[in-house]
Amino acid sequence: MSFELSREHEEFRRSVRDFAQAEIAPHVAQWDRDHHFPVDVVQKMGALGLFGLTAPEEFGGAGIAPEDGPFTSLCLAIEELGRVDQSIGITLEAGVGLGINPILTFGNDEQKAQWLPDLVAGQRLAGFGLTEPGAGSDAGATATKAVLDGGEWVVNGAKQFITNSGSAITSLVTVTARTGVRENGKPEISTIIVPSGTPGFTAEPGYDKLGWHISDTHPLTFTDARVSEANLLGERGRGYAQFLATLDDGRVAISALAVGLLQACVELCTTYALERQTMGGPIGRKQGVAFQIADLEVMLHASRLLTYRAAAMKDAMAAGGGPSVAEFKQAASVAKLYTSESAVTATRIATQVFGGYGFMEEYPVARFYRDAKILEIGEGTSEVQRMLIARGLGLPVE
């Protein structure tokens, strides 16, 4: 399996980089200060085709053949957006991975026809309601319930930390909920589409977050929210398996976001180390600084290779060959663990290279420092990744 990018992938990368530099970079510091979600830029991303990279042409997507690497294209787009701003990168990652893909993968023809065209066009967004106040990595502890009543699901419960769930262009949230009890006594978890504006469904005020200030993130409450029985996404009782598959892909996409951050740290530190003068010369001539930047470059290359490898495995599977599902899951967890922890380390090093200026919000490294930590938490914490990797090796870890 080769991880060299094709000419088409490289050209696509440059087009996204040009877009990010022109449409995002000049404004991102102010958006971050204002906690502003730029709907117009998100919709321009849609016009560029970024939300449709993994979707077929019938829904307005790019229709990229699996052998041509649609998932790799998505990861490249997330990387290039994340190089300029992590919040914009996660908006695309969640919009596709958590919004579009569950409907594209598990939805029926009617659901796809109803929701996908606007989502794929980037005119609307969707969220994925999994995490709860008492259930995160332990999804089996889901407390949200959905009960059938007269041909409708009645949903009650709460979700938290849900991306793209309360913006002005959010059209729906897919929600995991208990819909019964299995014969073994464990909860039956299903996934239900709850459109925005449904009576009883409330996106509460957005969080005051440490980072990702531009990203749209809300807690959600459901109080006798009624939706059609036809809003069941996929097979009843398969919600747990559906979200596991969704998170596997998401871990690789988060890795791509981390790679973008690492690339930014290398570029910012190199430029600063050449420009910043002290004791008669640039600080980059000091081994103490130069060696730290060299370490960043090593982490960047290793992270990029791990991410591209996992993305290539996903595309190969979609093409009907390549690795097994277990091999892909292992590669996804390895990539996510290494890249996210490297990104946190990289922002700490970058802030140190910048010295006192790194502590000032006028410099991008301060924003990247704040944004990095969530990469070790979202789409499965570092602890969860270590557990999954160990299990993949055959260790009976709990």
Q: Which of 175, 62, 90 has its CA nearest to residue 129?
A: 175
CB 53 within 8 A of CB 64: yes
Q: What is the pLDDT of residues 223-278, one digit of tens each?
A: 999 999 999 999 999 998 898 888 999 999 999 999 999 999 999 999 999 999 99
| Rounded Cα distance, 152 and 200, in Å | 14
Per the structure, the complete domain to which residue 138 belongs is given by: 127-237
φ and ψ at residue 201, rounded to 5 degrees: -105, 120
Q: What are the pLDDT digits (tens) for 99-109? A: 999 999 999 99
Mean of the pLDDT values across residues 142-163? 97
Residue with tokens 């994925």: 128
Contacts of 321 (CB under 8 A, 6+ apart): none
Query: Any idea which residues carry the catalytic annotation?
Result: 379
Does 14 reside within a domain? Answer: yes
Query: Of 125, 148, 175, at which residue does a domain stop?
Result: 125
CA distance 49 to 43: 10
Quick check: is 1 in a domain? Answer: no
Instruction: Assess whether 30 and 108 both reside in one domain.
Output: yes
Q: Are residues 36 and 159 in the same domain?
A: no
The two tokens of residue 57 are 């042409």
- Helix, strand, coil in percent for the chain, rounding step 5: 55, 15, 25
Pick the closest to residue 194 from 238, 245, 128 (CA basis): 128
Which tens digit of pLDDT belongs to each residue from 275-318?
Answer: 999 999 999 999 999 999 999 999 999 999 999 999 999 999 99
Distance CA 291, CA 273 (A): 11
More confident residue, 139 or 50: 50
Instruction: Answer whether residue 325 is part of any domain.
Output: yes
Beta bridge partners of 222: 157, 201
Q: What is the pLDDT of residue 2?
A: 58
Taking 70 as the threshold, does the pLDDT of residue 189 lie above it?
A: yes
Query: pLDDT grade, residue 3 (50/70/90)?
Result: low
Say whether pTM exceeds 0.95. yes
Rounded to whole angstroms, how far apart are CA atoms 375 and 335? 12
Instruction: Count structural domains, the chain.
Output: 3
Dist. CA 190–CA 130, nearest whole Å:
11
